[in-house]
Amino acid sequence: MAIAQFLLLLTISATAFPLHAQPGNTITPSKSIVDGQALISSNGAFEMGFFSPGNSKNRYLGIWYRNIPVQTVVWVANRDSPLNSSTGVLNLTSNGNLILLNDSGYVLWSTSTSNVTNPTVQLLDSGNLILTRGTSKSILWQSFDHPCDTLLPGMKLGWDSSTNFNRNLTSWRGASDPSPGDYTYKFDIHGVAEIFLWEKSARIYRSGPWNGQCFSDIPENTLFRSQFISTRDEDYFTYEVLDSSVISRVVLTKDGVIHHFNWDNTSNDWSDYWYVPKDPCDKYAYCGANGVCNASYSTSCQCLKGFDPKSTKHWNQRVYLGGCVRKTRLDFQSDTFSDLQNVKLPDTSNATADSDRSLDECREWCLKNFSCVAFAMSGESGCLTWTGDLVDIIVVNEGGDDLFFRLAASELDTKKGDSSKKQHAVAIVIPLLLGFLLFVFLGLFILKKKRKQGMLTDSCSKESRGKELELPLFDMSVIESATNNFYFNNKLGEGGFGPVYKGQLRDGQEIAVKRLSKDSVQGLDEFKNEVMLIARLQHRNLVRLLGCCIQREERMLIYEYMPNKSLDTLIFDKTKAALLSWQKRLDIILGIARGLLYLHQDSRLKIIHRDLKASNILLDKDMNPKISDFGTARIFRGDQNQENTRRVVGTYGYMSPEYAMDGIFSVKSDVFGFGVTILEILSGKKNRMVKQVEPHLNLLGYAWTLWKEDRCLELLDEAIECSCPVSKVMRCIQIGLLCVQEGSKDRPTMAEVVLMLSNEGVALPQPKKPGFCIERTSTEQHQSTVPEITHTLFEGR
């Protein structure tokens, strides 16, 4: 009987709506959709129909972006009940139930609505599928209330207490399987509302509380407006796009990562705006109760003031889950508060909020309430107070709040009104100060006598000390254990600084250890410079410094490990170059540009790298580029445009003419090195090793000759598939030539370069002759002979 009903339904559908004809953006009871048909929103942005994800042969009913070449599904109806053939039918019954039937007439999915007069289903321009009643058009059901793994602008993420329904994101199980996976991103409204990421039944990340503008880990941006709405019936988060040209989505991936993607018309792919979790500190309760996580610490975790590790043994093994316990019990009579600044506030599940209390009133209330262990002021939430343990505290670089936590008075260094303790402190401080001065003089003497083996008592320069930069420090025993005592097979390579070793910490994290050669005076200067600079820098396209080791006579830098090594090991190796498609090379170029823009303009410091080249670009597991090696970098003042030096450092072939010849360097010097790197990435050839019909030309000269003769496509690496878009290749080569122009004033800034790479609508000027574009005989030496200037030139490392 069921089969007969289905065949009748299929016949009616085919008669009322011929196969492959499109029903517009609505369905009524007289229409149905079969495989091959689709609903299309009125603005053409979204499409709903049947699809097969990845390499799956199953069919699903879903909604995706219509005008994006990469099929991106944002909603799936039958996640748990796939069709095993292309015979599915979507039908709206006369009483208002939208149902999906298989070839046996079995209902695989439905909206479970009924008793609806004159029902209509419509796909809106926002990507929302709605079911409405009659002329009132009141919404009885909508797909936005049943999200899958994607949050679109205008969707709600959170609770509807009137129906006890929680709208949350659930990951796909795999690229070819949209059934619910192990990860869920959802609100927890116990205490103060936050969004948590769960892996099955375990919390693995949280957003932090709402501060009135955004959640702690969701950055503000002029392109978007975030909102947290709390009413009697609902608590939810939503966001809107303020620029209608921006296509945006938030996705929970199958690997348990929250990404905010924007569509990039230049690369024809999705680009990350932000994502979490990023580092170990983002892992929920990574440091346990009353622990504080800071990526700048050598051990990541420290205890709050007045607390000690619950298990020192575990703590030394970098296992922090046990957290910290109080050293001195509270007496609730003379207790006071200590503060911790710029933090992501602790888990608010055991917190309460009172927006009417001021800071002083919040402090007073917490002090009188014996169950209150901490308080903070946070945006619209106002006064937040905690009971019990403080969990998941993270020090952040910017946008954090101040946390005031309860301490026994004896745990403070001084106590107001206690003159005897002040005197005691003076009696201690004066001898220490004298001893310190003596130690400084002694240290200066030793440094003068032992320049090569100098005991580096402070690995930061005076600039970083002035900012009270806390260096991450590793014990020598930890590094020796991680690298198997610097075993030869763990050696990744060697440069002017010294050897680099691969290692693995006890918690499983892979690291790269740069070990300063003991007889390298230049390396010692590089070491101090690199620690001072990179410890203050954080960007997804800069290599991340995990810490350093200053022990015995060793000086080492510990970085995140880059499994795909440096860029030069791929682009100059004909067997490996095929791993880098045209699109991946373009992504790498844009990533390097964004990292360099951060150094020049967006970081707290204005930094000139001075040695940008392919071997100093590292690639992570996803081939994302990260600029490394800041040993020769220099800081500029905010109003400083260029500097002159008599000690030129860098690598010949990447140095700009004004730097190599006259010692003048600026942001435009880095732009020149970036331009050389672009041309090397596109051609797969080194600047000094072009072997064409004119071997006397370097890569810049060869590219310039091809450009003038309108043959620049010949520059492209043979390993790149020939299907790459010609216009984009030409544009990229032109940008590279603009960056290597002989005159520094003619070269674009990195802000202009990023704009050129990201927006094809930006017109490009015609490039002028590159620097060092001269004919040379093959016997000429590749070195500068400028008189009276000492050049320190490093070959590619």
What residues are annotated to the active site? 611
CA distance 594 to 94: 56
454, amino acid identity: G
Among residues 193, 185, 233, the alpha carbon closest in space to that of 210 is found at 193
Q: Could you tell me which residues are beta bridge partners of residue 404?
A: 339, 375
Q: List the structure tokens of 37.
A: 């048909």
221, amino acid identity: N
Among residues 585, 552, 549, the alpha carbon closest in space to that of 567 is found at 585
The DSSP code for 771 is T
CA distance 193 to 160: 13
The DSSP-derived string for 737-760 is HHHTBSSGGGSPPHHHHHHHHH-T
Strands 664-666 and 642-644, bridge-based pairing: antiparallel
Angle CA 386–389–394, to nearest 5:
85
3-state secondary structure of 431: helix
Task: Give 551's contacts (C-beta < 8 A, 6+ positions apart).
Answer: 475, 476
Strand order in the sheet with 382-387: 301-303, 291-293, 393-395, 336-344, 401-407, 372-378, 382-387, 351-354
3-state secondary structure of 571: helix
The 3 state secondary structure assigned to 314-347 is HHHCCCCCCCEEECCCCCCCCCEEEEEEEEECCC
Residue 629, by phi and psi: left (phi above 0), alpha (psi -120 to 50) or beta? left
3-state secondary structure of 699: helix
302, 291 Cβ separation under 8 angstroms: yes
Task: Give 327's contacts (C-beta < 8 A, 6+ positions apart).
Answer: 306, 307, 308, 411
1, amino acid identity: M
The DSSP code for 550 is E
367 CB burial (10 A radius; 0-12, 13-18, 19+): middle
CA distance 319 to 312: 10
473, amino acid identity: L
737, 743 Cβ separation under 8 angstroms: no
Among residues 299, 259, 297, 300, the alpha carbon closest in space to that of 283 is found at 300
3-state secondary structure of 92: strand
Q: List the structure tokens of 571.
A: 């682009």
First to last CA, the chain: 75
CA distance 45 to 156: 20
CA distance 636 to 386: 44
Q: List the structure tokens of 667.
A: 């942001």
CA distance 198 to 517: 46
Q: Alpha helix (H) ranges present in 398-550?
A: 419-449, 462-466, 476-482, 521-534
3-state secondary structure of 565: coil
| Cα distances (Å, whole numbers) of residue 587 to 316, 623, 654 | 40, 9, 21
The 3 state secondary structure assigned to 291-318 is EEECCCCCCCEEECCCEEECCHHHHHCC
Residue pointed to by tokens 């740069």? 514
